Amino acid sequence: MKYNFDKPVLRENTSSVKYDLRSKVFGRSDIIPMWVADMDFQTPDFILGAIRKRLQHETLGYTFIPDSFFQAIVNWNFRRHGWQIPKEWISFSPGVVPALNLLVMALTRPGDKIIVQPPVYFPFFSAVQNHGRILVRNPLRYEKERYRMDFEQLSSCLDEKVSMLILSNPHNPTGNVWDKEVLLELARCCLERNIIMLSDEIHCDLIFSGSRHLPLAGLSPSIASQTVTCMAPSKTFNLAGLSTSYLVIPNPELKKKYDTLLDQVHVGAGNIFGFTALEAAYSEGEEWLRQLMLYLQENLDFLTGFIQQHLPRIKVIKPEATYMVWLDCRDLGMKKEELRDFMIHRAGLGLSDGFLFGEEGEGFQRINIACPRSVLEKALCQLRDAVDGI
Ligand SMILES: Cc1ncc(COP(=O)(O)O)c(C=O)c1O
């Protein structure tokens, strides 16, 4: 079956964050929304079909997480990433961001230091600061249109108060897929000092050809015992509204601490549509995902070509994964608020401001290209016309 990613889906008036909160976030509702990380494509038919089938039963009472949910996760990770995980390592979480917050609470103490690598997905900052932990920044270095980890600066931040590091792999917003040497070096620094690694791998199924995702915890048993991996089908299959994700925690002590907190706050039951969707996605989703990645690659090529040809003052940081693309707009010479206003009011676009990802992101914008090509083309033409008018 050939899936049609060109087909527009009308998302207005569905309580969609991306569409229906435009006025609130950008001050106007007529912009093309390319900010929140979900896709403007239909959620795959085999997932909608599985949910409809469940709805044929007329009762939606209390449920527990079925064994088939865990088995689907085991099978998917083995097939896609060659990562063998026993079911006993898996815990439910009602979203990766909730999980990061719960893990900070369960596995560290107030006053502990936690390292993040900006520019990075900004809920990492609040997951640390919301709970009285100290945010330590190990900024990525931007050299020759590529981001690298700065191990020298990392070593200088490591002291006995650092108890955790939060990694984004693949990295949001730069699209980096971290390679084995980098991951091993990062893990070496953390293992030496007993630092727990939270590896947010939510984008790990959205890898462009030429790159390969390596689960950090799959690199060695000692790394696994100090790593909690956060994963979900939500980005891959456009299911974010179902609040269903999971953690892989090989270390039984760490797992017990997380599971206990999850239980104490009673958010571990999940929801039946989430289980149904995950199982359908992970058992039937390979071919849809293959076609999705081809379409996203074409969108990426289109964006890159268009910008090279018509917007030479903007640089595309070539992503190896994800449908979020990081744009270096510093040559436009605007201050951060000015750039924001320009994108909203002159270009008519709702992008994610780079400065939200940390001060290193000032002068950058993040654009979501998971939309029909016609929408992407319209957005880029609007941007070109706005830049031509400066
Ligand atoms: C790196 C990363 N982690 C987590 C999330 C959100 O996860 P969830 O919706 O499961 O809380 C996102 C969404 O953009 C993300 O990019």
Domains annotated for the chain, with CATH where assigned, are 17-44+286-388 (3.90.1150.10), 58-284 (3.40.640.10)
Residue of 16, 17, 92, 97 to test ligand 1 pocket, by largest number of atoms within 8 Å of CB: 97
Q: What is the mean pLDDT of residues 47-69?
A: 96
Q: How far is Cα 268 from Cα 161, in angstroms, rounded to an integer?
A: 30
Residue nearest to atom 9 of ligand 1 (CA): 95
pLDDT score of 128 = 98
* 281 and 77 Cβ atoms separated by less than 8 Å: no
Per-residue pLDDT of 279-310, as tens digits, reads: 999 999 999 999 999 999 999 999 999 999 99
Distance 240 CA to ligand 1 centre (A): 9
Report percent pLDDT > 70 for the chain: 100
Report the sign of the C-alpha dihedral through residues 13, 4, 200, 208, in that order: negative
| pLDDT higher than 90, residue 229 | yes
- Nearest atom of ligand 1 to the alpha carbon of 243: 10
Distance 323 CA to ligand 1 centre (A): 13
| pLDDT higher than 90, residue 48 | yes
pLDDT score of 220 = 98
Residue of 235, 242, 368 to test ligand 1 pocket, by largest number of atoms within 8 Å of CB: 235
Per-residue pLDDT of 255-277, as tens digits, reads: 999 999 999 999 999 999 999 99
Q: What is the mean pLDDT of residues 211-228?
A: 98
Instruction: Report the 3 state secondary structure along 23-40.
Output: HHHHCCCCCEECCCCCCC
Distance 202 CA to ligand 1 centre (A): 6
Write out residues with Cβ below 6 Å of ligand 1.
Answer: 37, 95-97, 121, 168, 172, 200, 202, 232, 234, 240, 245
Per-residue pLDDT of 156-208, as tens digits, reads: 999 999 999 999 999 999 999 999 999 999 999 999 999 999 999 999 999 99
Q: Please tell me what DSSP assigns to residue 361.
A: G
- Helix residue ranges, H only, 27-164: 45-55, 67-81, 96-107, 123-129, 151-157
- Nearest atom of ligand 1 to the alpha carbon of 95: 10
Amino acid at residue number 36: V
pLDDT score of 144 = 84
Computed over every residue of the chain, the mean pLDDT equals 97
| pLDDT higher than 90, residue 380 | yes
Which single residue is written with the structure tokens 């049609």?
Answer: 4
Cite the beta strand spans of the chain per DSSP E: 32-33, 90-93, 113-116, 134-137, 141-143, 146-148, 162-168, 196-200, 227-231, 245-248, 315-317, 324-328, 349-350, 352-353, 364-368
- Nearest atom of ligand 1 to the alpha carbon of 232: 10
